[in-house]
Amino acid sequence: MAIAQRLGLDTIVRVVGERSDTLTILSELERIRPAVVIGAGRQSIAPARAIARRPNPRPLVAILQPVVWRPKEFDLVWAPLHDGTSIPYGRRHRLETLTAPSAVTADERARGAAWIASRVSDLPAPRIGVLIGGASRAHSFGVDEANDLASRLAAFAEAHEASLLVSTSRRTGAAETAILRDRLRTVAHIFVDPTDPASCAPVDPSIAYAGIVERATAFVVTADSVAMLSDAAATGKPIYGWRLPGGKAKFDLFYQGLLDHGAMRWFDGSLKSWKYDPLDAASVIADTLGASLGLLDHAQHRI
């Protein structure tokens, strides 16, 4: 949605999963006549490939997912620079960026910021957005890690007289979320738990999260989440990365890229201000697609 919004085109969203979805989407093509089809995630590869195999005139087909098998069937394949699946014969169709495209739209940021203002009328600076992922195949995040994070965040907030705007994720875990909520109760002005809609009613947790991204003056982000780090990096605001046990070589490449760009420093309890060019991968992808769309005069303004 964020990429489509930047292109200024009408958007139709389809959630895909089973093979029947591919047949349904193909049957809609003649009626919708889209200018471009964007597939995001592994489940979108099959229907996007089926569309790309149709004879011309057909939509431009972009896939936001590393593709190894026959990548040249797509007009554009996006992949992160730290991904290890790049192959020489597919690079002509491959666009690489340091960060992932942020799914947070400008409208969501504005709505989320308004919700925060309705909850806390006077939100003193510095406002620290705390974006917390959780356990994954590569990283650990249990009760010990939650207690350590909560303890150091509380001390950090008190030392710098900072407002904490906290969002956990669906991977954080119930016990870990409870620890964070309890230990940060006195310093967290906003605490959003996406598994508990009441934590941000009446808005959706995604809107509350977007508001945190908008209102924060700096971030603390757990290192397990490329998406959260990318959302923060798209703002150009300082990021303090919070290390978690585990990891992989590709994540180390990602972190080093953020460090080299000047977007991130590792959390050490200090709070400094610095600037860097925002890493807005969604805009890079949208600009690339926008240039290609000039060749599709037969298509209607739909995406």
- CATH number (domain holding residue 176): 3.40.50.2000
Chain-centroid distance of CA 92 in Å reads 25
Whether residue 94 lies inside any domain: the answer is yes
66 and 112, same domain (yes or no): no
Chain-centroid distance of CA 17 in Å reads 21
Q: What is the pLDDT along the chain (303 residues), one digit of tens a residue?
A: 788 778 777 788 877 776 557 777 777 777 788 888 999 888 888 889 988 998 888 889 999 988 888 888 999 999 888 876 655 545 566 889 999 999 999 999 999 999 999 999 888 889 999 999 999 999 999 999 999 999 999 999 999 999 999 999 999 999 999 999 999 999 999 999 999 999 999 999 999 999 999 999 999 999 999 999 999 999 999 999 999 999 888 999 999 999 999 999 999 999 999 999 999 999 999 888 888 776 334 334 444
The structural domain count of the chain equals 2
28 and 71, same domain (yes or no): yes
168 and 77, same domain (yes or no): no
Distances (CA, A) of 141 to 47, 86, 131, 146, 170: 35, 30, 14, 7, 12
Do 212 and 129 contact (CB within 8 A), yes or no? Answer: yes
95 and 123, same domain (yes or no): no
* Parent domain of 6: 2-102+281-293
By DSSP bridging, strand 188-192 and strand 218-222 are unpaired
65 and 199, same domain (yes or no): no
Spatial neighbors of 82 by CB under 8 A, at least 6 apart, are 98, 250, 251, 253, 254, 257
pLDDT reported for residue 92 = 60
Whether residue 10 lies inside any domain: the answer is yes
CA-closest candidate to residue 199, choices 163, 176, 165, 154: 165
The neighbour count for residue 249, using CB atoms within 10 Å, is 9
pLDDT reported for residue 296 = 39
pLDDT reported for residue 300 = 41
Only one residue has tokens 């992989």, namely 248
150 and 51, same domain (yes or no): no
pLDDT reported for residue 297 = 40
Quote the strand ranges of 41-146, DSSP E. 60-64, 76-80, 94-97, 127-131
Whether residue 302 lies inside any domain: the answer is no
Whether residue 53 lies inside any domain: the answer is yes
pLDDT reported for residue 31 = 79
288 and 160, same domain (yes or no): no
Whether residue 201 lies inside any domain: the answer is yes
Whether residue 175 lies inside any domain: the answer is yes
141 and 259, same domain (yes or no): yes
pLDDT reported for residue 302 = 41
119 and 96, same domain (yes or no): no
Q: Rounded to the nearest 5°, which phi and psi values hold at 229?
A: -65, -35
Tell me the helix, strand and coil percentages in the chain, rounded to 5: 45, 15, 40
pLDDT reported for residue 20 = 55
